[in-house]
Structure 1
Amino acid sequence: MKIREINAMRGPNYWSVRRHKLIVMVLDLEEMEARPSNKIDGFFDRLKAMFPSMYGHRCSVGTPGGFFERVEEGTWMGHIVEHIALEIQTLAGMDVGFGRTRGYGEPGVYNVVFAYMEEKVGRYAAKAAVEICEALIKGEDYDLKYDIQKMRELREAERLGPSTGSIVEEAASRGIPWISLNKYSLCQLGYGANQKRIQATVTSETSSIGVELACDKEDTKYLLEQAQVEVPRGDIIRKESSLEEACRYVGFPLVVKPVGGNHGRGITVNINSLEDAIVAFHAAKEVSPAVIIEKYIVGFDYRLLVINHILVAAARRTPAHVIGDGKSNLQQLIDKVNSDPRRGYGHENVLTQITINELTSNIIKSKGYTLGSILDKGEMLILKDTANLSTGGTAEDVTDIVHPANVAMAERISKIIDLDICGIDIMTTDITQPLSETGGAVLEVNAAPGFRMHLAPTSGLPRNVAAPVIDKLFPKGNSGRIPIIAITGTNGKTTTTRLIAHMAKMKGFHVGYTTSDGVYIQNRLLMTGDCTGPASTEFVLKDPTVNFAVLECARGGLLRAGLGFTNCDIGIVTNVAADHLGLKGIHSMEQLAKVKGVIPETVLPNGYAILNADDDLVYDMRRTVACKVALFSMDENNPRIKALQRLGGISAVYENGFVTVCRGEWKMRIMKAEDIPLTYGGKAVFMIQNVLPAVLAANIQGFSIEDMKAALETFIPSPSQTPGRLNIFKFNNFTILLDYAHNPAGMRALQKFTDTLEATVKVGIIAGIGDRRLEDNNEMGSIAAEMFDEVIIRQDRHLRGKTEEELIKMLHDGIKMQDPNKKTKIIPSEKEAITFAVKNAIPGSLIVLCSDVIPDALNLVKKFKEQEAAGALVFDH
């Protein structure tokens, strides 16, 4: 079997609008297409032996063991690879269950689709599943344990930590979108100008001074002492020579810890000798140049979590430990603790497995034990110096029993240190009594405190401590969203996008928008090229200056990675026409419509899907959306429009020469079409079609008729506002029309416009497209033969899988089918083709350039204009 490609979906996609995290693997079964599972001796038994837990896979049978039934009866390897990819992720601690295997449109080639939690794990699972399947086919041994451990390691390296993850999950549950900003824990909540950021449990509203103070234990302790908060007696030293004097001043037992440490690193507790203090000093020096020597406070370790200066949770923490049974040795006792199903690798479970590192070995040795020693029944042996959950500790929720004096103290400390989120560590014998009465003390104030002990304590009530974080960042139900209008379709996407963006800018918004020629923030082009995929979308939504987004979304990005947003307010589908068929497994118009239909399916319930009522495939999308529907049509008497109007719906129509918005049967004439510059006096009918969904979106957004009219009057078809879309350059003796028409539907629309233009001769410069079907290129040639008196065939910069000769023949055959005598010239270079057409232009001629690299074509045409102005434009006739 051969893997052709592996893509990771990260947003709403062709396979599922709801399930965003999907791996899509294109798998060629090769000779295995003729060998289903029941044709391979021993395959079923080997599969069942390797994955007995697959009995839980119901498959299409719908009952436990259903998948095994399918394998025994005979199913194809793509289907089996799908189930293996799901199962090995589950065995690695990531319970995923969604999968699909569908034909790619070629014999023996399949789309194997399955869910993932972490992308690198999903990609690994795809490759491993194929390798496992091949080993099972051949009856070879396979090291499954290696794959499971590797996926666990990848997961721990890639996943958000439990604290960050809980905040993100809480945000998502409230409909607040989020974006990961780096490969660690920096995340953006919300979009554009309404975004907030978190990194672990530090937020964009956390005081940097507060964080600096919390990281400097010396300054923290000084401020708390000044505020009459109980803290242990202590000293700070930097040299070993000062250690003995510090120990005499503080008195044994004592604690040694780094000034700038966190998460328990470099801390040693309950030190009772100078020798042990020296060892602890050097351990602390590895973390920080300055070391704290302070009195060891007897009692229990408590963590008080304060968010927005309110105590929200408290936990009693116990270091990793074992309790003897009088029979088992230390290693056996540790193994028994680690066998607790609540313990896992890293952060995969509510508790972490206890590891035996150098520190643990030293603690065991200091007690006079080895791993082979047997503890007396009931004897407890502490294995770590700190009670952190990440080192195997446990936590008991005690929120409801904290004495009010201790609550007030914690909340006051958060204000003294100036931290909106902080974890306060105290040591006391009884948390139900004031610290001042128990001889307890505040040990540390932590910025970026871990939430895990509160979210999933070993015992006691779990606390949703992420909720108050989101309450603080997004009060009163604020979703952090900005208006998002997404546009898709075969033709007209870019112009519609640009027009809506222009309207929003005129209304006073700071607009970010993506197009097939670049990404713009307000009036600045910040990225060039085809920017209609999810990466460009995220570029806009991450920009903190943007408060209105208009996003062109093309087929390619949708199939490659899904959408770059979860939901939009308005989703527009301009049309669905034959283009890109035969690519990426999309072979029919219905499949193409399903791709485009992802956009309206992502519209929020109170938003609108704006659909073309003149296009059957687009109109049918109304059946799959969960939002309101608005329609547009070039025919005010379209029965679909009339039906919507009777229901009181919103529509936009071209009626009696006007662009009109209708709410129910009430009409609001926006502007006469022939007065809209974009339509070239009403001659460019397809531009009127682009105006209709734009004014409909503007009306839904609350723009007034005056707002829309002002925007339409100032949106001039030009290289600056509509590059490559009906750009007309008038020379003294001829005219050049530059357009992006690149498919039969686009060419037909352009033909209707050029038919209205007077010219002595019409010359067309066209190119075949390598990744389009034979019939598409033939049709492009045929239409060109109808449109032009002369045709120049050039080549695109990228041939996309076909040879120059093949593309020329396809176009030439299409031209000859329409007109065997059509005057045709072949000039592969676009620059040379344009130059030839200009140099040989006769008075009154029209040169129509269908270009795919708009900036280059525009620059060349502008160069000819400059030559003409300087009297240097020379003709060859």
Structure 2
Amino acid sequence: MSPKNIEFLRLTYLRGPNIWTYRSVMEALIDIGELEDYPSNLLPGFNERLKAWLPLMIEHHCTPGVRGGFFQRLDTGTWAGHILEHVSLELQTLAGMPMAFGKAREAGPRGVYKVVIRTDNETVGRRSLELSRELILAAIHDTPFDVPAAVAQLALTVDTLHVGPSTYSIVEAAYARRVPFIRLNVGNLVQLGHGVKQRRIWTAETDRTSAIGEGISRDKDLTKKLLAMCGVPIPEGQVVDSPAAAWIAAQEIGLPVCVKPSNGNRARGVSLDLSTQNEIETAYDIALAQGRDVIVERYVRGSEHRLLVVGDRMIAACRGEGASVTGDGQHTVRELVELQINSDPRRGSVGNLPLELVVLADNSPEVLELARQGLTIDSVPALGQSVLVKRTGNMTTDITDVVHPDVAAQAVLAARVVGLDIAGVDVVTPDICQPLGTQGVVVEVNAGPSLLMHLNPAEGQPRLVGQAIADHLVPPSETGRIPVVGLMGDGDTTKSAKLIAWLLHLQGLFTGLACAEGLFANQRCLFKGNAMDFEQAERLLINRSVEAAVFESDARHLLTQGLAYDRCQVGIVTQMPKAAPLEDLYPGPDEKMPSYIRTQIDLVLPSGYAVLNAADEAVADLAQFCDGGVIFFAPDESNERLMAHHQEGGRVGFWRDGQLILAEGTHEQSVLSLQRPGVSRLLKNNLLSTHDMLVAACAAWAMGMDADLIRAGVKSYGQTPSV
């Protein structure tokens, strides 16, 4: 290794809950070599260069717990691994994917560290670490580094691979309520909940969004007809098939008029307040370029408004404003647009900022608007001359709190008439604080509306629209969860997992099982082989038929992939694994293993149970990390840890004189007898051991199964072969 270098030994993406945190992280195993002898305060000029390149890291609190805490650590001296952690998180934040969690820990050998950063995407996390390494080395060796270019490169990756802000707001709102989620593609298709309890979103569309309703919303003329039938005020209009027909229709309707495509969106191709034949015929060609048909309709004076309807409520509303420039006698309209409009930091590419860039393209409504003022894009307006460039598509200001109840009710009715559970309803009215009456109209109902204008308005208060959609799909009284059982041990859990899945199956639940022998759904084998891998196991949670799931895992999968589920109803640890088989992962001594395996118990829901082997002291000690109840099991009732738990009123399971006993307080129930032929058969044929039966019985008890069903299930196990 060259002097003062940082070498990546391995990069591991932990997709599920892991030894570091509940959410996905990138773990980098690095070797800092000679830099182990050079903390930051011993690197000449390094701290100054790093602070100058990334000044916003002043916000990193770090260990001191105060603003500027990380900079304090730099000044007093910290090591390259810790610096890599903070720089990587900062680059992700600057690129538009803010992440706050990171760790840097010695891995054992001198100079070798594990650096962990939160990231929602493997490619983004990997690239942020690589760019951070390059930046840090440039600061160490006093060589140039283009920070804006690096951030722009990473931002492009984020824009391409990360979910959009609308989807992100829904997902984060669901996560805040502990509703699990799974991203189903590289786009914005996300599942909320698991198995049979799941719902799906695609940006602001859901699995409740009617395909017919979406089709109706794209046909603006049909939408207006249906709205009119139900008493929603609309502007009268006609579908036309030529510029000449557009002019004829405009005269019949009454000037001024609006000309727009019948199936456009985001106000593209829409021309307003048209009164002359030339304007209307030109607007026809502009609209036709954006849609299948062209509509001419009565122009209603007033401001544009977008009302967001979710379910049976109006959740948020924004008002639109035109975009204008002021002449200076020197610059063209095109130049003024760049100087006075597009330079606004609130404007940018669609989906990232509250306002879009104004593009002066040929054959566009903007060019027509200029022509109506006797200008072109190359005209030089006089000093002080105001030039209207864009009338539509600028939803700038939140006005949710002042919308009249009648207007909100009309918007909800419009969404319902079209058949949309989530809709953007466009209203034109001079005063949104008054009923629509004869002064205002509903002009469009849009499926899959943008949420950004409500999440990040140019002016006014942001609205919790993501939370409203999450609550619409998964009501606050529900969790979107199915019963999940997770097992971990030291290679002794496969038979126990299969028996638990069998018991749940007999209870009438469509049960999924991911274990070392394969992937099973309702006792049918879907995949033969080790299904503890994350991608195989996650298939159970995506399956819309699965009502309960059992997951076997081990220390290696935990350390290299994370767990496929975020929480469990029952978490089982049967035996504490040893560190020796994991030496390639730098786990440390055996004494460190409980700090890893506790992840299985950390995931137990408050309403659930940890099932722990009282005969293994390290396993029994994990009880302290459980948010729910604890069931101890042991081969016999004389185990001291089990006896103490029982005396305190806790649940325990054990064998006594050939009887499997489940006990709580003074109540005991005998579940199985080794003398029964069915049980003897299982033991004789090595299908199960007494250990497997005990573990499964405790797990089933934790799931609310009664003793009779447990007894019948164990005795019948193995009689019906899996397909």
Q: TM-score, normalised by structure 1?
A: 0.75
Between 1 and 2, higher relative CO (CA 8 Å, sep ≥ 6) is seen in 2
Task: Measure how far apart 1:599 and its partner are.
Answer: 1.0
Q: 1:565 is matched with which residue?
A: 565
Q: Is the 2:62–2:69 contact (alpha carbons within 8 Å) kept by the matching residues of 1?
A: yes
Cα shift readout 1:414-433 (whole Å, capped 9, x = no counterpart): 33222222222121212233
Cα shift readout 1:787-834 (whole Å, capped 9, x = no counterpart): xxxxxxxxxxxxxxxxxxxxxxxxxxxxxxxxxxxxxxxxxxxxxxxx
Residue 137 of structure 1, aligned match among 135, 140, 147: 140
Task: Measure how far apart 1:109 and its partner are.
Answer: 2.2
Cα shift readout 1:365-388 (whole Å, capped 9, x = no counterpart): 5343768957866x7654434224
Q: 1:865 is matched with which residue?
A: none
**CA 158–263 in structure 1, closer or farther in 2 if over 3 Å, else same:** farther
**What SS does structure 1 have at the residue aligned with 2:532?**
coil
Q: Is the 2:180–2:194 contact (alpha carbons within 8 Å) kept by the matching residues of 1?
A: yes
Q: Is the 1:679–1:687 contact (alpha carbons within 8 Å) kept by the matching residues of 2?
A: no
Measured in 2, the distance between the counterparts of 1:437 and 1:399 equals 22
**What SS does structure 2 have at the residue aligned with 1:426?**
strand
Q: 1:635 is matched with which residue?
A: 636
Q: Is the 2:166–2:450 contact (alpha carbons within 8 Å) kept by the matching residues of 1?
A: yes
Task: Measure how far apart 1:346 and its partner are.
Answer: 4.9
**CA 678–274 in structure 1, closer or farther in 2 if over 3 Å, else same:** farther
Measured in 2, the distance between the counterparts of 1:143 and 1:363 equals 42
Task: Measure how far apart 1:684 and its partner are.
Answer: 6.8
Alignment of 1:354-373 (within 5 A): 354-358=357-361, 359=364, 362=367, 365-366=370-371, 367=373, 368=375
One-letter code of the match for 1:110? Y
- 5+ unaligned residues in a row in structure 1: which ranges? 724-877
**What SS does structure 2 have at the residue aligned with 1:565?**
coil
Q: 1:111 is matched with which residue?
A: 114
Task: Measure how far apart 1:91 and its partner are.
Answer: 2.6
Task: Measure how far apart 1:85 and its partner are.
Answer: 0.9
Measured in 1, the distance between the counterparts of 2:719 and 2:161 equals 47
Alignment of 1:323-472 (within 5 A): 346-348=350-352, 351-352=354-355, 354-358=357-361, 359=364, 362=367, 365-366=370-371, 367=373, 368=375, 381-388=387-394, 393-402=395-404, 404=406, 406-438=407-439, 440-472=440-472
**CA 315–39 in structure 1, closer or farther in 2 if over 3 Å, else same:** closer
One-letter code of the match for 2:320? R
Task: Measure how far apart 1:615 and its partner are.
Answer: 0.9
Q: Is the 1:13–1:563 contact (alpha carbons within 8 Å) kept by the matching residues of 2?
A: yes
Q: Is the 1:569–1:608 contact (alpha carbons within 8 Å) kept by the matching residues of 2?
A: yes
One-letter code of the match for 2:130? K
**CA 248–353 in structure 1, closer or farther in 2 if over 3 Å, else same:** closer
Q: Is the 1:191–1:541 contact (alpha carbons within 8 Å) kept by the matching residues of 2?
A: yes
Q: 1:703 is matched with which residue?
A: 705
**CA 623–339 in structure 1, closer or farther in 2 if over 3 Å, else same:** farther
Task: Measure how far apart 1:437 and its partner are.
Answer: 2.7
Measured in 1, the distance between the counterparts of 2:706 and 2:405 equals 59
Residue 148 (structure 1) aligned with residue 154 (structure 2) = no
Measured in 1, the distance between the counterparts of 2:645 and 2:442 equals 68
Q: 1:744 is matched with which residue?
A: none
Q: 1:590 is matched with which residue?
A: 591
Q: 1:67 is matched with which residue?
A: 70
Task: Measure how far apart 1:136 and its partner are.
Answer: 1.9
Q: Is the 1:489–1:554 contact (alpha carbons within 8 Å) kept by the matching residues of 2?
A: yes
Measured in 1, the distance between the counterparts of 2:98 and 2:240 equals 50
One-letter code of the match for 2:529? G
Cα shift readout 1:544-565 (whole Å, capped 9, x = no counterpart): 1110111112223322232222
**CA 656–320 in structure 1, closer or farther in 2 if over 3 Å, else same:** farther
**CA 422–183 in structure 1, closer or farther in 2 if over 3 Å, else same:** same
Residue range with higher mean Cα deviation, 354-363 or 202-211: 354-363
Task: Measure how far apart 1:336 and its partner are.
Answer: 6.2
Task: Measure how far apart 1:290 and its partner are.
Answer: 1.6
Q: 1:187 is matched with which residue?
A: 190
Residue range with higher mean Cα deviation, 568-577 or 254-263: 254-263
Q: Is the 2:171–2:470 contact (alpha carbons within 8 Å) kept by the matching residues of 1?
A: no
Alignment of 1:811-822 (within 5 A): none
**What SS does structure 1 have at the residue aligned with 2:689?**
helix
Residue 531 (structure 1) aligned with residue 553 (structure 2) = no
One-letter code of the match for 1:528? K
Task: Measure how far apart 1:65 and its partner are.
Answer: 4.3
Q: 1:92 is matched with which residue?
A: 95
Percent identity between matched residues is 32
Q: 1:11 is matched with which residue?
A: 16
Q: Is the 1:510–1:521 contact (alpha carbons within 8 Å) kept by the matching residues of 2?
A: yes
**What SS does structure 2 have at the residue aligned with 1:304?**
strand
**What SS does structure 2 have at the residue aligned with 1:394?**
strand
Alignment of 1:222-371 (within 5 A): 222-239=225-242, 242-250=245-253, 252-321=255-324, 346-348=350-352, 351-352=354-355, 354-358=357-361, 359=364, 362=367, 365-366=370-371, 367=373, 368=375
Q: Is the 1:505–1:522 contact (alpha carbons within 8 Å) kept by the matching residues of 2?
A: yes
One-letter code of the match for 2:108? G
Measured in 2, the distance between the counterparts of 1:320 and 1:153 equals 28
Q: Is the 2:318–2:396 contact (alpha carbons within 8 Å) kept by the matching residues of 1?
A: no
**CA 620–257 in structure 1, closer or farther in 2 if over 3 Å, else same:** same
Q: 2:619 is matched with which residue?
A: 618
Task: Measure how far apart 1:180 and its partner are.
Answer: 1.5
Q: 1:762 is matched with which residue?
A: none
**CA 370–288 in structure 1, closer or farther in 2 if over 3 Å, else same:** closer
Residue range with higher mean Cα deviation, 614-623 or 228-237: 228-237
Q: 1:790 is matched with which residue?
A: none
Q: 1:853 is matched with which residue?
A: none
Alignment of 1:534-683 (within 5 A): 534-578=534-578, 580-673=581-674, 675=676, 677=679, 681=683
**CA 213–162 in structure 1, closer or farther in 2 if over 3 Å, else same:** same
**CA 639–27 in structure 1, closer or farther in 2 if over 3 Å, else same:** same
Alignment of 1:41-56 (within 5 A): 41-56=44-59
One-letter code of the match for 1:411? V
Task: Measure how far apart 1:717 and its partner are.
Answer: 9.1
**CA 566–383 in structure 1, closer or farther in 2 if over 3 Å, else same:** farther
Q: 2:218 is matched with which residue?
A: 215
Cα shift readout 1:43-78 (whole Å, capped 9, x = no counterpart): 333223322333343433445544344434543322
Cα shift readout 1:703-725 (whole Å, capped 9, x = no counterpart): 1111011111112399x56x9xx
Measured in 1, the distance between the counterparts of 2:326 and 2:639 equals 80
**What SS does structure 2 have at the residue aligned with 1:509?**
coil
Q: Is the 2:348–2:357 contact (alpha carbons within 8 Å) kept by the matching residues of 1?
A: no
**What SS does structure 1 have at the residue aligned with 2:581?**
coil
**CA 277–580 in structure 1, closer or farther in 2 if over 3 Å, else same:** farther
Q: 1:487 is matched with which residue?
A: 487
Measured in 2, the distance between the counterparts of 1:262 and 1:545 equals 37
One-letter code of the match for 1:502? W
**What SS does structure 2 have at the residue aligned with 1:583?**
helix
Q: Is the 2:369–2:390 contact (alpha carbons within 8 Å) kept by the matching residues of 1?
A: no
Cα shift readout 1:129-177 (whole Å, capped 9, x = no counterpart): 0111222233211111111112222223333333333332332222221
Alignment of 1:725-736 (within 5 A): none
Cα shift readout 1:566-604 (whole Å, capped 9, x = no counterpart): 211110011113252303221322333332221110111
One-letter code of the match for 2:485? I
Measured in 2, the distance between the counterparts of 1:326 and 1:174 equals 57
Measured in 2, the distance between the counterparts of 1:525 and 1:501 equals 13
Q: TM-score, normalised by structure 2?
A: 0.90
Q: Is the 2:283–2:368 contact (alpha carbons within 8 Å) kept by the matching residues of 1?
A: no
Alignment of 1:786-797 (within 5 A): none
Task: Measure how far apart 1:347 and its partner are.
Answer: 4.0
Q: Is the 2:309–2:315 contact (alpha carbons within 8 Å) kept by the matching residues of 1?
A: yes
Measured in 2, the distance between the counterparts of 1:5 and 1:273 equals 69
Measured in 2, the distance between the counterparts of 1:602 and 1:168 equals 19
Name the Cα RMSD after superposition. 3.2
**CA 175–321 in structure 1, closer or farther in 2 if over 3 Å, else same:** farther
Measured in 2, the distance between the counterparts of 1:141 and 1:462 equals 40
Task: Measure how far apart 1:3 and its partner are.
Answer: 1.8
Q: Is the 2:329–2:380 contact (alpha carbons within 8 Å) kept by the matching residues of 1?
A: no
One-letter code of the match for 2:367? N
Q: 1:202 is matched with which residue?
A: 205
